[in-house]
C-alpha cells in the first residue's frame, strides 16, 4: 500500500514537472500575434504544394510548427520570403527536389530568421537571373539580436548574392555538407561580435551576374568581428573572392582553395591556418595588422600570387612546415617583427621578401631555421657585421649587415625570388660570382657603398638597386638586356673608364678599342654605363711547310690573344674538303702562340681548307678563314696478292688474284711471264680486284717468274714479282692387288701390289688399321716368280712392260681376329700420290682355348666335399665353358663351370669318378681337360634301432625287432645275449633267471663297415597272490580300502572341525546381541 502510494506520488510529481516544462517551453519565443492559437501548434508539419500535406504553403507550415518541432517540405518549387519565429528543424525531402525562390522584390531573402536553434537541411535556395544588382537577393537573413545555433546541412545555394545576411549579433552558425555558387558572406556593424562560426565539409564556387556595365561576382566573405571561426574540410573552387577577416581564435584547416581570383585570410589576430591547399590563388594569407598569436603550418601553395604576407607582428607568429611552388613570393615580411618564427619551410620557384618602412630594427627575436629553396638552404642574417664568407645557400638575405663579402659563387635561382637580397646593408663586396635567374638576381635596397665587380649574370640575370647610394658596378658581364635592370639612386656603373659587358645588347666596337660607341642607360633614374665593354680575340697564322702532299701533314703557326674583359676559353682549327670531309683540332687556349699540324687527306688532291675558331668565357666567337692549301700526289699504287699457287702441274691454270689500289686512281695494269717482251692485260673483275688466268700446258717443267705492273695518273708506278714451278701432275697407277684374301691369328698376311708410272715409282705402302692396332707397312720390290708360289695367285698370271711388283708381309697377332682394313698408297718421283679405296682382309681364329685343372685328392668318401681348380684362357675370348661328371665311365651329369668349383660326393655314390672340363671360344674352337680318376669309397657306418619287450619274466619268451639302415646297403645283422646268438632282424629268446642282461647287436653294410650297439634287457620273478575264496578281495584292495577309509575319516574330521568353529562364532554373536 505504501509502495503503491509512493509510485502514485512519484508519477504525479513527474507529470506535474513535465506539464510545467511543457508550459514553459510552449510559450517560449512565441510572438504575441500567435499567443491565442498556441494550442493549435504541432511538433511535426508537412508542406506539399500538391495539397496532400498539412499545408501547401511554407509560411503556413512555419507558423503551425511548435517550438523545437519539425517542418518537412515535400519535393517541389516554392516562391516567397518566409519568417522563422521559433526554434525548429526545416527539412526538405531531397536537396535536388526542393527548390525555393525569393520573391522578385528588392533586397529580399528566402528565409528571415528571428529565433535560435534552427536547422535547414536538404534544401536548394535559388535566386533569379536578370534581376538588378540592387535587388541583392540572399538565402538566409538573420534579423533578431543574439541569434544562436543556426545550422545549414546538406543544402544548396545558387544564383544568390549571399547565403547569409546579418546585421545584428549572432552566435554559432554551422554550415556542413553544403554546396554554393553564392557568396557565403557574414557582415556586421561596428561593435557587433559574431561567435562560433563553423563551416565544414562544404564546397563553394562563384556565379557571375551581368548587369550591363557591371559584373557582380559572388564568392566567400567574412568581414566582421568574428570570434571562434572554424572552417574545416571545405573546397573553395572557381571563386572570385574568398575573404576571411577573423579577430580571435580562428581555425582554418584542411581546406582547398582552387582558382580563386581574389582571396585572403586577413586580419588573423590569433588562430591557426594549417594543412590547407592554395592553388591558382591571388594573395593567399595576409596576417596583420598587429597579430598576437598566429600559427601558419603545413600548408601547400602552388601557383599563388603572394602566398604569406606578414606585417607588423607585435605578439608572435609561427610559419612552419609550409611548401611553396611557383609563387610570386613565398613569405613577405613587412616592417616590425616580434617573436617571429620561420622554420622548416620548402620553396620552389618562390622565396623570401622583406621591407621595413620604419627606421627602427626590423626583427625582435627572430627564429629562422631549416628553410630551403630548390633543395638548398635559405640564409637570413640580421644585424651582423664583417661577414667574410657564407656557407652554401639557395637564397641569401641580409638585413642590417655591413662589410660583408660574397665572392666566387655559382648559383642559378628559380623564378619569383631574388637569390641575393640585401636590405640596409652597407660597404659590401659582391665579386667573381656566376649568377643567373631569380626575379631579380640581385636585389639591393637602401644600402650604401656596395662594390659589384667581375660577376657574370646569365641571360636571365638582373640587378635591382632601390634607394641605394655610392655603389660601384663595373667589369661585370650581363647576359640579358638593360630593360630588366633598375637603379633609382646615386651609383656608378663605370670605374676608371671601364664599364660592363652587356652581352644581350650585341653592342659593336667599330674601332677595335674594346669599348662600344653606345651608352647603356639604366632604368629607374639618371644612371648609365658610359663605357660598355666589347670583348674580343685577335687571331693570326703563318705557314711553316713549303708544300702539301697527300698523306702528309701541313704545319702552321697560330696566334690568338684576347682583349678586354673576356678570357680565351676555346681555340680550334677546322680543316678538310668536300671530298674527305671535315674534322677539328683543339689547341690550348692558354698559349698565345703555338704550332699545329694539319693532316692532308691521302685520297684526294683537292685543295684543303682550314678555319681558325676562338671562343672566350663570355661566349664570344671569332673566326679566320677559310684558307686554301694546294695538294700534290707523290704516292705510288699498291699491289696486294690475294691468291697465288706457286706449284702447278703441267696443264693447270695459273689463277692469281690481286688488288691494285692508289690514293687517287690506277690507270694501267699489266703482267709479264719469264721476263719476255710480251706484256698481257689481266682480267678486271670490279673495283680494284684483278684475276690472272694463264695455262701451263705449253710451259716447260721447272721454275718460272710472273711480274705484275701498275701505274696511276701521276706516273707513280709499282711492280710485284711472283715465282711458280710447273710439275708433273699425273699420279701412278695401281694395276692390281694380289694380296692374300684372308689370314689366321698368329699367322702372316701377304700383300702383293702391281703398279706402274711413266716417270718412276718412289714408294708403295699399305696403311692398315684393325680394332686394336693400326700402322703403315712399306712394300719392297719383288718379281713374278716369287708371287706365283702363293696358292691364290693364278699360275698363268703375267705383267705388262712398265709394271712393277711390290710385296710385303704382316704378322697377325694371336689375340686379334678383327677384320684388317687397308689402303694402298703409291707415290711417284714427282710426289704424285695414288691412294686406293679401302679394302679388307678377313682374319680367322684357329687357336683353341687352353684348359688346365687339379683335384684336391684322388680318394674320397661318400658325402665328402671335393674342390676342383680350373684355369682357362683364349687368345680372343671365351664364349662358354662346362663340365661333365663320369662314374665308372658313365656320364653322371654336366654343369656350367668357371675358374673352379666344389663337388659334393653323394652318399649313395661309390666307384671311379672322372671330370671332363670343356671351353669354347668365339670362333667355335674347343679346349678340354680331363681330371685324374678319383676313387669314391663308403666310409659311413650303418645304424639301427630296436623295438620290442625289453622287460620280461623268467622263462617268458621275449621278441625284439631290429631296424637297420645304411647309405649303401645293409649286408647282415648279428645279435647275442647271455650266450644266445642269432642273425637277422627278428630276435626271440628266453631267460630263466632274473636280472639285467646285455643284448649286443652288430650291423654289417655291403662295404664291410660294422655298427656295434648294446641294449639292456630286464628279467624279473613273477609275484604269488593268495585269493579269498569267500569275498575274493586281495590285499591290494584291502590296502586301497583302508586308504579310502582313512581318507573318509580325515574328511569327516575336517568337516567336524569346521562346523564346530562355526557354532562357536554363532554363539559369540548371539551373546553380543543379547547384551545389547
Least confident of 223-232, 618-627, 980-989: 223-232
Residue 185 has pLDDT above 80, yes or no: no
Residue whose entry in the numeric block shows the C-alpha cell 512565441: 30
Residue 353 has pLDDT above 70, yes or no: yes
Q: Mean of the pLDDT values across residues 1037-1053? A: 76
Using 50, 70 and 90 to split pLDDT, how confident is the model at 269?
Answer: low
Q: Write the pLDDT tens digit of every residue in 872-917.
A: 998 888 899 999 999 988 888 888 887 888 888 888 888 899 999 9
Check: CB of residue 196 under 8 Å from CB of residue 227. Answer: yes
With CA atoms as reference, report the closest residue to 1001 among 976, 969, 972, 964: 976
Residue 15 has pLDDT above 60, yes or no: no
Q: What is the reported pLDDT for 107? A: 60
Check: CB of residue 58 under 8 Å from CB of residue 79. Answer: no
Paired with 1046 in beta bridges are none
Please name the residues in contact with 884: beta carbons below 8 A apart, sequence gap of 6 or more: 891, 893, 894, 915, 916, 918
Q: What is the reported pLDDT for 45? A: 95
CA distance 91 to 61: 12
Per cent of the chain over pLDDT 70 is 84
Residue 25 has pLDDT above 50, yes or no: no
Q: Mean of the pLDDT values across residues 254-273? A: 78
Residue 217 has pLDDT above 60, yes or no: no
Q: Write the pLDDT tens digit of every residue in 831-860.
A: 889 999 999 989 888 899 999 999 988 899
Q: Write the pLDDT tens digit of every residue in 771-802.
A: 778 889 898 988 888 888 888 888 888 888 88
CA distance 602 to 638: 13
CA distance 460 to 888: 132
In order of 753, 764, 837, 838, 987, the CA distances from 793 in angstroms are 12, 20, 21, 21, 94
Q: What is the reported pLDDT for 5? A: 38
Residue 466 has pLDDT above 70, yes or no: yes
With CA atoms as reference, report the closest residue to 205 among 193, 215, 220, 195: 220
DSSP letters along 134-187, please? Answer: GG--EEEEE-STTEEEEEEES-EEES-SEEEEE-S-EEEEEEES-EESSBEEEE
* Three-point CA angle 139, 140, 142, nearest 5°: 155
Q: What is the reported pLDDT for 214? A: 31
C-alpha radius of gyration, the chain, whole number? 70
Least confident of 61-75, 573-587, 614-628, 1050-1064: 1050-1064
Residue 551 has pLDDT above 90, yes or no: no
Using 50, 70 and 90 to split pLDDT, how confident is the model at 31?
Answer: very low
Residue 714 has pLDDT above 90, yes or no: no
CA distance 912 to 118: 141
pLDDT mean across residues, the chain = 82
Which range is most confident: 155-169, 367-381, 612-626, 934-948? 367-381
Q: What is the reported pLDDT for 322? A: 96
In order of 543, 550, 556, 594, 684, the CA distances from 547 in angstroms are 9, 10, 11, 20, 36
Using 50, 70 and 90 to split pLDDT, how confident is the model at 222?
Answer: low
Residue, of 805 and 112, whose pLDDT is higher: 805
Residue whose entry in the numeric block shows the C-alpha cell 562355526: 1062
Q: Write the pLDDT tens digit of every residue in 102-119.
A: 887 656 777 778 888 889
Helix (H, G, I), strand (E, B) or coil at 620: coil
Q: What is the reported pLDDT for 823? A: 93
Q: Write the pLDDT tens digit of every residue in 501-545.
A: 898 888 888 887 888 888 999 999 999 999 998 887 888 888 888
Buried b (16+ CB within 10 A) or exposed e, 48-67: bbeeebbbbebeebbbbbbb
Please name the residues in contact with 635: beta carbons below 8 A apart, sequence gap of 6 or more: 550, 551, 602, 662, 663, 664, 716
Q: Write the pLDDT tens digit of every residue in 998-1034.
A: 999 999 988 889 999 999 999 998 865 444 444 445 5
With CA atoms as reference, report the closest residue to 995 among 948, 951, 947: 951
Using 50, 70 and 90 to split pLDDT, how confident is the model at 169?
Answer: low
Q: What is the reported pLDDT for 802? A: 82
Q: What is the reported pLDDT for 183? A: 58
Check: CB of residue 368 under 8 Å from CB of residue 388. Answer: no
Q: What is the reported pLDDT for 764? A: 92
Q: How many CA atoms lie within 13 A of 968 on its CB side?
A: 22
Residue, of 822 and 200, whose pLDDT is higher: 822
Residue, of 696 and 36, whose pLDDT is higher: 696
DSSP code for 822: E
Q: What is the reported pLDDT for 289? A: 61
Which range is most confident: 101-115, 344-358, 447-461? 447-461
Residue whose entry in the numeric block shows the C-alpha cell 559584373: 215
How many CB atoms lie under 10 A from the CB of residue 389? 10
Q: How many CA atoms lie within 13 A of 619 on its CB side?
A: 12
Residue 177 has pLDDT above 50, yes or no: yes
Q: What is the reported pLDDT for 488? A: 94
Check: CB of residue 152 under 8 Å from CB of residue 177. Answer: no
Q: What is the reported pLDDT for 114? A: 80
Q: What is the reported pLDDT for 146? A: 64
CA distance 878 to 452: 114
DSSP code for 18: H
Q: Mean of the pLDDT values across residues 547-553? A: 84
Q: What is the reported pLDDT for 493? A: 94
Q: Write the pLDDT tens digit of every residue in 729-774.
A: 788 899 898 888 888 888 889 999 999 987 788 899 999 988 778 8
User: Which three three-digit cell numbers place residue 963?
Assistant: 631296424
DSSP letters along 44-107, please? Answer: EEEE-TTTTSSBSSHHHHHHHEEEEEEEEE-SEEEES-EEE-S-EEEEES-TTTEEEE--SSTT
Amino acid at each position: 500500500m505504501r509502495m503503491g502510494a509512493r509510485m502514485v506520488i512519484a508519477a504525479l510529481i513527474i507529470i506535474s514537472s513535465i506539464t510545467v516544462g511543457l508550459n514553459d517551453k510552449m510559450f517560449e519565443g512565441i510572438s504575441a500575434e500567435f499567443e491565442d492559437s498556441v494550442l493549435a501548434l504541432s511538433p511535426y508539419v508537412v508542406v506539399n504544394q500538391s495539397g496532400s500535406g498539412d499545408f501547401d504553403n511554407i509560411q503556413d507550415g512555419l507558423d503551425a510548427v511548435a517550438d523545437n518541432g519539425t517542418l518537412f517540405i515535400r519535393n517541389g518549387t516554392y516562391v516567397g520570403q518566409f519568417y522563422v519565429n521559433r526554434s525548429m528543424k526545416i527539412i526538405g525531402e531531397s536537396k535536388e527536389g526542393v527548390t525555393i525562390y525569393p520573391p522578385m522584390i528588392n533586397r529580399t531573402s528566402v528565409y528571415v530568421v528571428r529565433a535560435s536553434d534552427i536547422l535547414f537541411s536538404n534544401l536548394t535556395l535559388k535566386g533569379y537571373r536578370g534581376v538588378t544588382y540592387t535587388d541583392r537577393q540572399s538565402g538566409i537573413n538573420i534579423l533578431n539580436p543574439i541569434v544562436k545555433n543556426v545550422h545549414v546541412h546538406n543544402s544548396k545555394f545558387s544564383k544568390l548574392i549571399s547565403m547569409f545576411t546579418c546585421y545584428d549579433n549572432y552566435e554559432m552558425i554551422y554550415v556542413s555538407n553544403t554546396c554554393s555558387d553564392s557568396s557565403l558572406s557574414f557582415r556586421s556593424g561596428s561593435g557587433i561580435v559574431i561567435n562560433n562560426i563553423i563551416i565544414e565539409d562544404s564546397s563553394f564556387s562563384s556565379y557571375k551576374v551581368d548587369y550591363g556595365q557591371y559584373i557582380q561576382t559572388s564568392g566567400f566573405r567574412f568581414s566582421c568581428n568574428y570570434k571562434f571561426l572554424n572552417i574545416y574540410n571545405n573546397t573553395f573552387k572557381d571563386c572570385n573572392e574568398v575573404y576571411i577577416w577573423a579577430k580571435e581564435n580562428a581555425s582554418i584547416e584542411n581546406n582547398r582553395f582552387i582558382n580563386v581570383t581574389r582571396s585572403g585570410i586577413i586580419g588573423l589576430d590569433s588562430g591557426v591556418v594549417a594543412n590547407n591547399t592554395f592553388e591558382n590563388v591571388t594573395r593567399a594569407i595576409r596576417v596583420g595588422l598587429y597579430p598576437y598569436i598566429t600559427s601558419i603550418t603545413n600548408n601547400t601553395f602552388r601557383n599563388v600570387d603572394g602566398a604569406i604576407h606578414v606585417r607588423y607582428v607585435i605578439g608572435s607568429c609561427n610559419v612552419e612546415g609550409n611548401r611553396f611552388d611557383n609563387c610570386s613570393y613565398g613569405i613577405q615580411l613587412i616592417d616590425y617583427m616580434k617573436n617571429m618564427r620561420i622554420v622548416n619551410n620548402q620553396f620552389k620557384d618562390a622565396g623570401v621578401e622583406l621591407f621595413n618602412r620604419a627606421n627602427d630594427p626590423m626583427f625582435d627575436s627572430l627564429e629562422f631555421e631549416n628553410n630551403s629553396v630548390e633543395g638548398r638552404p635559405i640564409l637570413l642574417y640580421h644585424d651582423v657585421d664583417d661577414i667574410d664568407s657564407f656557407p652554401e645557400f639557395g637564397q641569401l638575405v641580409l638585413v642590417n649587415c655591413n662589410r660583408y663579402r660574397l665572392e666566387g659563387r655559382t648559383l642559378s635561382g628559380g623564378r619569383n625570388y631574388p637569390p641575393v637580397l640585401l636590405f640596409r646593408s652597407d660597404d659590401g663586396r659582391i665579386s667573381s660570382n656566376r649568377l643567373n635567374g631569380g626575379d631579380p638576381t640581385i636585389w639591393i635596397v637602401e644600402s650604401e657603398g656596395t662594390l659589384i665587380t667581375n660577376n657574370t649574370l646569365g641571360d636571365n640575370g638582373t640587378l635591382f638597386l632601390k634607394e641605394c647610394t655610392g655603389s660601384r658596378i663595373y667589369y661585370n658581364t650581363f647576359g640579358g638586356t638593360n630593360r630588366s635592370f633598375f637603379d633609382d639612386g646615386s651609383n656608378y656603373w663605370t670605374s676608371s673608364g671601364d664599364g660592363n659587358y652587356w652581352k644581350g645588347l650585341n653592342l659593336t666596337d667599330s674601332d677595335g678599342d674594346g669599348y662600344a660607341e653606345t651608352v647603356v642607360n639604366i632604368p629607374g633614374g639618371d644612371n648609365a654605363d658610359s663605357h660598355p665593354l666589347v670583348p674580343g680575340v685577335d687571331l693570326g697564322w703563318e705557314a711553316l711547310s713549303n708544300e702539301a702532299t697527300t698523306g702528309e701533314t701541313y704545319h702552321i703557326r697560330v696566334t690568338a690573344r684576347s682583349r678586354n674583359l673576356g678570357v680565351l676559353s676555346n681555340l680550334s682549327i677546322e680543316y678538310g674538303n668536300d671530298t674527305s670531309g671535315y674534322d677539328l683540332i683543339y689547341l690550348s687556349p692558354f698559349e698565345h702562340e703555338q704550332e699545329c699540324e694539319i693532316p692532308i687527306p691521302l685520297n684526294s688532291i683537292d685543295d684543303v681548307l682550314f678555319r681558325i675558331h676562338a671562343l672566350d668565357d663570355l661566349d664570344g666567337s671569332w673566326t679566320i678563314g677559310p684558307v686554301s692549301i694546294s695538294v700534290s700526289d707523290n704516292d705510288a699504287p699498291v699491289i696486294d696478292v690475294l691468291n697465288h699457287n706457286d706449284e702447278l702441274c703441267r696443264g693447270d691454270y695459273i689463277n692469281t688474284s690481286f688488288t691494285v689500289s692508289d690514293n687517287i686512281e690506277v690507270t694501267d695494269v699489266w703482267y709479264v711471264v719469264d721476263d719476255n717482251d710480251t706484256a698481257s692485260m689481266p682480267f678486271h673483275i670490279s673495283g680494284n680486284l684483278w684475276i690472272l688466268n694463264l695455262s701451263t700446258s705449253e710451259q716447260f717443267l721447272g721454275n718460272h717468274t710472273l711480274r705484275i705492273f701498275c701505274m696511276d695518273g701521276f706516273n707513280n708506278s709499282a711492280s710485284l714479282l711472283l715465282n711458280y714451278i710447273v710439275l708433273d701432275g699425273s699420279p701412278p697407277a695401281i694395276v692390281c692387288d694380289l694380296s692374300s684374301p684372308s689370314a689366321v691369328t698368329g699367322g702372316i698376311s701377304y700383300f702383293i701390289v702391281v703398279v706402274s708410272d711413266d716417270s718412276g715409282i718412289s714408294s708403295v705402302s699399305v696403311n692398315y688399321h684393325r680394332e686394336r692396332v693400326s700402322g703403315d707397312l712399306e712394300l719392297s720390290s719383288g718379281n713374278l716368280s716369287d708371287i706365283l708360289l702363293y696358292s691364290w695367285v693364278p699360275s698363268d698370271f703375267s705383267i705388262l712392260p712398265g709394271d712393277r711388283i711390290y710385296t710385303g708381309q704382316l704378322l697377325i697377332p694371336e689375340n686379334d681376329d678383327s677384320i684388317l682394313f687397308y689402303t694402298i698408297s703409291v707415290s711417284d718421283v714427282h710426289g704424285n700420290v695414288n691412294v686406293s679405296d679401302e679394302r679388307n682382309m678377313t682374319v680367322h681364329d684357329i687357336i683353341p682355348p687352353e684348359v688346365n685343372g687339379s683335384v684336391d685328392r684322388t680318394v674320397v668318401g661318400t658325402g665328402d666335399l671335393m674342390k676342383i681348380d680350373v684355369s682357362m684362357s683364349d687368345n680372343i675370348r671365351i664364349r662358354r665353358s662346362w663340365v661333365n661328371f663320369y662314374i665308372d665311365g658313365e656320364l653322371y651329369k654336366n654343369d656350367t663351370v668357371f675358374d673352379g668349383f666344389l663337388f659334393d660326393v653323394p652318399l649313395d655314390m661309390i666307384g671311379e669318378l672322372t671330370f671332363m672340363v670343356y671351353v669354347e671360344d668365339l670362333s667355335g674352337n674347343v679346349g678340354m681337360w680331363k681330371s685324374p680318376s678319383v676313387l669314391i669309397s663308403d666310409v659311413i657306418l650303418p645304424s639301427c634301432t630296436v623295438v620290442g619287450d625289453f622287460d620280461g619274466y623268467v622263462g617268458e619268451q621275449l621278441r625284439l625287432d631290429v631296424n637297420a639302415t645304411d647309405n649303401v646297403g645293409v649286408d647282415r645283422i648279428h645279435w647275442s645275449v647271455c650266450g644266445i646268438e642269432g642273425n637277422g632282424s627278428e630276435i626271440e629268446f628266453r631267460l630263466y633267471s632274473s636280472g639285467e642282461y646285455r643284448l649286443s647287436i652288430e650291423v654289417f653294410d655291403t662295404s664291410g663297415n660294422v655298427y656295434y650297439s648294446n641294449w639292456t634287457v630286464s628279467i624279473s620273478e613273477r609275484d604269488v597272490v593268495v585269493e579269498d575264496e569267500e569275498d575274493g578281495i586281495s590285499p591290494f584292495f584291502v590296502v586301497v580300502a583302508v586308504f579310502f577309509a582313512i581318507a573318509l575319516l580325515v574328511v569327516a574330521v575336517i568337516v567336524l572341525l569346521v562346523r564346530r568353529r562355526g557354532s562357536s562364532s554363532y554363539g559369540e554373536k548371539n551373546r553380543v546381541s543379547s547384551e545389547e
